Amino acid sequence: MTLFTFKPWRLSALLACLACLASLASLALGSSGAWSATPDTPATPVGCSALLQQNLLRLQDEKPQSLCQYSGKVVVVVNTASFCGFTPQYQGLEALYAKYKERGLVVLGFPSNDFSQETGSNKEIADFCENTFGVKFPMFTKTRVTGPEASPLFKQLADKTGTMPRWNFYKYVIARDGASVVSFNSLTDPTSHKFINEIEKQLARP
């Protein structure tokens, strides 16, 4: 009877095959581990102030937006309404945005029904703003701006200025570094000298 003899070349081939399989297994495990370690949300950008570390929904399509994208800008935050005596201020806010956006200004609008003058849906509000005043500055979905249910952003603005909105079209001017905030009540028109002077002062700062 002829015994099976293990040729040296066969042993080399077998070892090479086993090494290949081990490498593939290691690669598969490594890929699986990397996938599971991927965070669900991006890290907060370096230099984003605590005030702007907010993830909110855009009015037009309700897609998530991080306010950190406005870091380093002078930010005007305003609570808005479609059926208010101050609603025409949309026009002044849009003019302000158009004039100063290249210098680093952004206006952020937050529709709110806290004063019972913004009853429409987000789509209705978006259509109204675009069709009536040609609003191009960023706007977000309906937001609570007063009381214990106010959004974190408006709570922080109240903490920094000592006042929550007492009516529609309250305005908060946030410095480029996010450290200081100045508030203006509804009676202050966005085209007034008082308001423009504050915008110019903030834009002049590094």
In 3D space, the residue among 50, 161, 176 whose CA is nearest the CA of residue 105 turns out to be: 176
In whole angstroms, how large is the CA radius of gyration of the chain?
28
> Tokens 């306010």 correspond to what residue?
67
Cα 53–Cα 58–Cα 60 angle in degrees, nearest 5? 170
Residue numbers annotated as active site: 84
Cα 75 → chain centroid: 12
DSSP 65: E
The one-letter amino acid code at 100 reads Y
Tell whether the torsion through CA atoms of 115, 198, 128 and 153 is positive or negative.
negative
What span, in angstroms and rounded, lies between the C-alpha atoms of 108 and 43?
23
In 3D space, the residue among 87, 145, 81, 150 whose CA is nearest the CA of residue 117 turns out to be: 81
